[in-house]
Amino acid sequence: MVTLLLDSTQLEVVLSPTERALSFRKTNIVVPREHIDRVQLTDDAWTWIRGVPNPGINLPVAIGAGTWKSAGGNDFVIIRGRKPSVVVDLAGHEEFERLVLTTKHGVALVKALRLDVASEPEDVADIVA
């Protein structure tokens, strides 16, 4: 599962080496906080996928990883099974319109975004603890 780091200016989605390989991505995803439009929690992230992986991996109900291209724009997806996930809608981000991520820290992310946080990146689970 991805690690979510948050500071006063940005959200960073830290990808493991395996997630980088599956998503065909070399760098982490950095989203300025002002580009976060809405955050939603879901038990079935597969219903939030739109478009086709390009580049990416899609093994339905098992794993989805990479950039999904659709008429609505590009989404970044890291989904494993039918586990709790978070959907982050973005406005004005240069690369993605939406992030769909399997993480057990979705509730922590929602809470952390409402708090004043430090200028140094911290794991969202640590911020709300």
Output the CA–CA distances (angstroms, integers) from residue 77 to 115, 121, 128, in the order listed: 26, 22, 25
Is residue 19 within 8 Å of residue 78, measured between CB atoms? yes
List the domain boundaries for the chain: 3-128
Task: Round the average pLDDT of the chain to a whole number and report it.
Answer: 91
15 — pLDDT class (breaks 50, 70, 90): very high
What pTM was computed for the model? Answer: 0.91
Say if residue 117's pLDDT is above 80.
no
Strands of the chain, DSSP E: 3-6, 10-14, 29-32, 36-42, 52-59, 63-70, 73-80, 85-90, 98-102, 122-123
The confidence score (pLDDT) of residue 127 equals 80
**β-bridge mates for residue 6, sequence order:** 11, 122
Say if residue 113's pLDDT is above 90.
no
**51-98, pLDDT tens digit by residue?**
999 999 999 889 999 999 999 899 999 999 999 999 999 999 999 999
